[in-house]
Structure 1
Amino acid sequence: MGRGLTLEGLDEDVAQRRRGAPRTVGVVWGLLILNTLGSAGAQTIIPLPRSLIQMVTMGSLVSAFALALVVNLRLRIRPSAYLVLLTLLLVLSVISSANLESGAGALFRCARLALFVGTLWLLSRWWDGGETFVRHHIRMYFAVLVSVAAGLAVSPGAAMPDLYGGRLVGALWPLTPPQIGQYAAVITGLAALLLLGRRTTGASAAAVIVPSLVLLALTHTRTATLGLIIGLALAIGSLVLTSAAARRFFGWAVLCATAAAVGLSSLLEAWFLRGQSQENFSNLTGRAKVWDALLAAPRTTTEQLFGRGLGDKSFGGLPIDNSWLAVYNEQGLTGVGLVAAFVLVLGGVALLRPPSLSRACAIFLISYCAIASYTEAGLGDASPYLLHLTVAASLLAAPAAAAPLPTPEAIQRTEGT
C-alpha cells in the first residue's frame, strides 16, 4: 500500500523521461507540418477549393495547440534562446501589422504565428538532445512524399504538368516542386545521418533515402539539391574526427562526386540548367528583378525599421523567394536582425557542442535553412524552415537532469503521513 503511494508520488517529469515523449507529441508535430504545407500550388487531380485547404491547415494548427496544451497542462517548458527570439519576432510582427498596411490578413497571419510559436513552447518540455523530433520529422514528411508518389502513379500528367516545365508537383495536395524538393532533401539528409550514427538499419534508411532522392531528381530543385549536398558535407565533416563510418562515407562520397563530375558533366549541367538560358539562370529565374524592385521601392523610416506587416511573401504580385528580403519587407531591419540572431545562436551553439550525432543533425538542418534562405522565403513566419530549426534546437538542448529516486527514509516518511 505504502509502496503504491510512493510510486504515485514520483516526480512526473522523471516518469515522462523514462517513458520518452508521449505519442501525442508526434501527432502534434504532424499537425504542425500539415499547417505549413500551404494552400497554393499545382492543380490537383480532384480540384480542392482553396478555402477548404485553408480550413484544413488552420484547423490542424488549432488542434496542434490544443493537444500540446492537453499533454502539457502544467505548462512546463525548457528555456530556449531560439524560442525567445522567435517570440520577439512575433511581437514585432504584431506591431508592424497593426497599421493594416498589408490588410486585415496581416493580423490573421499574426494570430497563426502566435499559435505556432505557442505550440513550440509547449513542446519544448520534451527537448532533451535526443533524436525524438528527428524521427517525427522524417516520418511526417515521408508521409507527405508518399502522397506525392501516389499522385504520380495515379496521374503522371497531372503530377508533371507543362505549366511547371515537367517538374514534379503534388497531384493530390497542391505542392510546388520547391516544396517537394525541400522535404525530400531534408529527410534524405537526416536518414543518412541516422544511418551513420547507427541509430537505424540500412534497410530502413534505404526505404526513405532511395524514393526521396528519386522524387528530388524529378522536381529539378537546385536549391534543395545544393542544400542537401553542402549540409551533409558540413554535418559529416563534424563527425570525421570521431567516427570511422563518417570518414568512410565522406571518402566514398568525394570519390563518387568526382567520378560523376567527370563522366556525367553534360547530363548534370542539363539537369541543373533545366532548359534555361544562361541569362535566365544568372537572373535566378527572374528573382533578381523582383529583389531589385523591392529594394528600390520608397519606404518611410518606420517601414525600414519595422516593415509593412505580415503578408503573402510577395512584392508587386510576384513571389519574393528570399527569406531575408521577405523579412525586410514585412518586419523591417529589426526583423532581419532577430532572424539573423536566432540562426546565429543555433549555429554558434552547434559549433560549441562536442562531436555527436545530434550535433551533426543540427548542423545539417541549420546549414540547409541558411542555404535555402537565399532563394526561398519562410524564416520570418510559420513555415517548414522554422520547424527544421526547431528540430535543430531540440537536438542542441542539454539533457534534463533526472530527479533522484526517493530514498528509503523518504518512503517511510511518506508512509507515515
Structure 2
Amino acid sequence: MERDHTSKIVGMVWGLLILNTLGSAGAKTIIPLPRSLIQMVTMGALVAAFALALTVNLRLRIRASAFLFLLTLLLALSVISSANLESGFGALFRCARLALFVGTLWLLSRWWDGDLAFVRHHIRMYLAVLGSVAAGLVASPGAALPDLYGGRLVGALWPLTPPQIGQYAAVIIGLTVLLVLGRRTDRTSAVVVIVPSLVLLALTHTRTATLGLLIGLALAIGSLVLTSAAARRFFTWAVLCATVAAVGFGSLLQTWFLRGQSQENFSSLTGRAKVWSALLAAPRTTSEHLFGVGLGDKSFGGLPIDNSWLAVYNEQGVVGVSLVAAIIIVLGGVALLRPPSLSRACAIFLISYCAIASYTEAGLGDASPYLLHLAVAASLLAAPASATPLSTPVAPRRRVPRWAQRSEMS
C-alpha cells in the first residue's frame, strides 16, 4: 500500500516537471492568459515538484549516474557563465530554475532501476497535455489552427506551438508502439493513445517530430528484431506500408512535407540557417567562446536559434557543447552495451529522437522536455536495484545470563 502511494507521488512529481517545461510563450489562447500568470504556474510547479520529491526521499537516497553527474557539471558551468550578468539577472533566475530541476532529478534517481515506470508516467502526462490541445481544437478550431502559424495546430487553451505539440505526440506514439510490441499494454489502450496523437501530429505539420518518430522507431525496433518475433513482423509490415505510401501517395506526402514553402525557404530551414550563420560569425571573447554569455531565452538578435548545439554554444560555450555531447554519447554507448530488451529499445528511441530534434530545436542545455526524455532514458538504462535494502538494521545482541553461560560451557 505504501509503495503504491509513493509511486503516485513520484508520478505527480514527474507531471509537475512536465508542466514546468511547457513554457509560457506560444499562440494566443481562447481565454487570454497573462505571461506572468503562466510563469507563476510553471515555476510553482517546479518548486512543488522539488518539495514533493523531498518528502518521499527525506533520507536523500540517490543513485549516482553519469547522466546526472554531467548534468550537474552543466549546471555549474551555467552558473559560471551567467555570473557576469551579460545576459541580465534573468540568467541567474534560469540558473536557479535549472538547479531545482536537476535537484529534483537527483531525488527521483532513487527509483531509477531499469523498469518502465517512468515511461508510463511520461505517456500519461503528455497524453493529458495533448488532451488539452484536442479540447482547444474542438472548442475553437479557428484559434487552434490560426493563419499566423499557416493553419498549423497550436494550443488554444495553453500557449503551445506546433513543434511542441508535434514533439509530445511523436514521443508518446513511439513509446506506446514499443510497449505494444513488448506486450506491456493492450491494443485497445494503445489505439486510444496512438490514433489521436497521430491526428494531432499530422495537423502540426512538424517535420522534425515526424522524422524523429520514424527514425527513432526504426532504430528501437531494429534493436529488438533478433529477439522479438512481434518486432520482426512489425518491421516487415512497416517497410511494406512505407513503400506503398511512397508510391501511391508520394505527391501528397511531398505537399505535406513542404508545407507550401518555396524551395529557397525550405533549403534555408525556414530561415534558421541565416540566424545560425549570424551567430557563428559574431565576434566573441575567449571567455565567451569557452563558457558562453549565460543562460538566455535561446535567441540571437531577437530571433530564435532553433538549434540545441548552437544555443548551448551561445549560452554555455564550447565547454557546454562538450558536456551536452558527452551526455548523448554516454547514454547512447550504455544503450548499445545493454542486452536486447524493451527498456533498452525505449531508451534508444528517446536518445535518437533527442539527437535528431537537436538540429532544429533548442533545449538540451536547459530545463526542457528534451532533458526529461533523456532522464527517462537514463532511468531505463540504470541497473536494477539490489533486492536487499539500502541500510539493513542490525538486530540487537541478546544478553545471556551468567548461569546460562556456565551451563553452556559445561
Q: Sort the TM-score into its range (normalised by shorter chain).
A: over 0.9
For each residue in 1:214-261, what CA deviation from the matched residue of structure 2 results, as whole angstroms up to 9, or x when unmatched?
000000000000000000000000000000000000000000000000
Identity, % of aligned positions:
84
Is contact 2:77-2:291 (8 Å) kept? yes
Residue 361, structure 1, aligned to residue 384, structure 2: no
- Provide the residue aligned with 2:161 in structure 1: 176
* Equivalent residue pairs, number: 399
TM-score by length of 2: 0.95
CA distance in 2, matches of 1:414, 1:194: 52
For each residue in 1:371-406, what CA deviation from the matched residue of structure 2 results, as whole angstroms up to 9, or x when unmatched?
000000000000000000000000000001111799
- Provide the residue aligned with 2:360 in structure 1: 375
Q: Return the match for 2:236 from 251, 260, 276.
A: 251
CA distance in 2, matches of 1:351, 1:212: 29
For each residue in 1:164-214, what CA deviation from the matched residue of structure 2 results, as whole angstroms up to 9, or x when unmatched?
000000000000000000000000000000000000000011110000000
The within-5 A match list for 1:5-24 is 22-24=7-9
Is contact 2:109-2:379 (8 Å) kept? yes
- Provide the residue aligned with 1:347 in structure 2: 332
Q: Return the match for 2:135 from 125, 128, 150.
A: 150
- Provide the residue aligned with 2:370 in structure 1: 385
- Provide the residue aligned with 1:117 in structure 2: 102
- Provide the residue aligned with 2:29 in structure 1: 44
- Provide the residue aligned with 1:133 in structure 2: 118
Is contact 1:151-1:172 (8 Å) kept? yes
Q: Which amino acid aligns with 2:48?
A: S
CA distance in 2, matches of 1:375, 1:98: 28
Give structure 1 regions of 4+ aligned residues with deviation exceeding 4 angstroms.
18-21, 404-407, 410-416
Residue 271, structure 1, aligned to residue 256, structure 2: yes
Q: Which amino acid aligns with 2:231?
A: A
Q: 1:315 to 1:414 in 2, by over 3 A?
A: farther
Question: Which structure 2 residue ranges, 5 or more long, are not aligned?
Answer: 401-410
- Provide the residue aligned with 2:78 in structure 1: 93
Is contact 2:46-2:100 (8 Å) kept? yes
Q: Return the match for 1:105 from 90, 94, 109.
A: 90
CA distance in 2, matches of 1:176, 1:125: 34
Residue 75, structure 1, aligned to residue 60, structure 2: yes
- Provide the residue aligned with 1:10 in structure 2: none
Is contact 1:21-1:126 (8 Å) kept? no
Q: Which amino acid aligns with 2:178?
A: L
- Provide the residue aligned with 2:271 in structure 1: 286
SS of 1:22 mapped into structure 2: helix
CA distance in 2, matches of 1:311, 1:412: 57
Q: Return the match for 1:33 from 2, 6, 18.
A: 18
CA distance in 1, matches of 2:84, 2:388: 49
- Provide the residue aligned with 1:190 in structure 2: 175
Q: Which amino acid aligns with 1:177?
A: P
Residue 164, structure 1, aligned to residue 149, structure 2: yes
Q: Return the match for 2:202 from 217, 231, 245.
A: 217
Residue 400, structure 1, aligned to residue 385, structure 2: yes
Give, in angstroms, the shift of residue 79 of structure 1.
1.1
Q: Return the match for 1:59 from 25, 44, 49.
A: 44
Is contact 2:6-2:56 (8 Å) kept? no
CA distance in 2, matches of 1:272, 1:309: 36
Give, in angstroms, the shift of residue 82 of structure 1.
0.2
The within-5 A match list for 1:317-336 is 317-336=302-321
Q: Which amino acid aligns with 1:170?
A: G
Cα RMSD for the two superposed structures = 1.8
Q: Which amino acid aligns with 2:41?
A: V
Q: 1:120 to 1:414 in 2, by over 3 A?
A: farther
Question: Which structure 1 residue ranges, 5 or more long, are not aligned?
Answer: 1-14
Q: 1:31 to 1:413 in 2, by over 3 A?
A: same
Q: Which amino acid aligns with 1:161?
A: P
CA distance in 2, matches of 1:158, 1:102: 34
